[in-house]
Structure 1
Amino acid sequence: MPARTSLIERGAGGHYVIIIPEHDMVFVHRVNTYLRGHQVSGADVGTLLQMIFDAKAVSN
């Protein structure tokens, strides 16, 4: 069986779709880019993902 890998697609202003098979997870982050100043950095998305993983670890 092939190794499982994560897939990441990134769009303008902070739109992300991240598929993480080993965690049975699909993460979608959208931003209202029609409003000026509404952008999210890759670091912010990484922080949010880490918070989700930390919360999952606490609940297990």
Structure 2
Amino acid sequence: MQKRKLNYRFHNPNSVAATADYILKILIDANSEKVERAIQAAADQVAQKAECDEGYSS
């Protein structure tokens, strides 16, 4: 039996800008926790470096 290749078509009545905005909002919502963790990790690294620099006197 031969496999059929699936072909999908989507009708999008929105403008390109509206579609891009909608996709951006979905991606931001989906990745917000990951971004918050990355920001917190970066802030922690900066705080640790500042603590190390305070302890070092020349």
TM bucket normalised to smaller = 0.3 to 0.5
Higher gyration radius (CA):
2
Higher relative contact order (CA 8 A, sep 6+): 1
TM-score by length of 2: 0.37
Structure ranking higher in strand proportion: 1
| Structure with higher helix content | 2
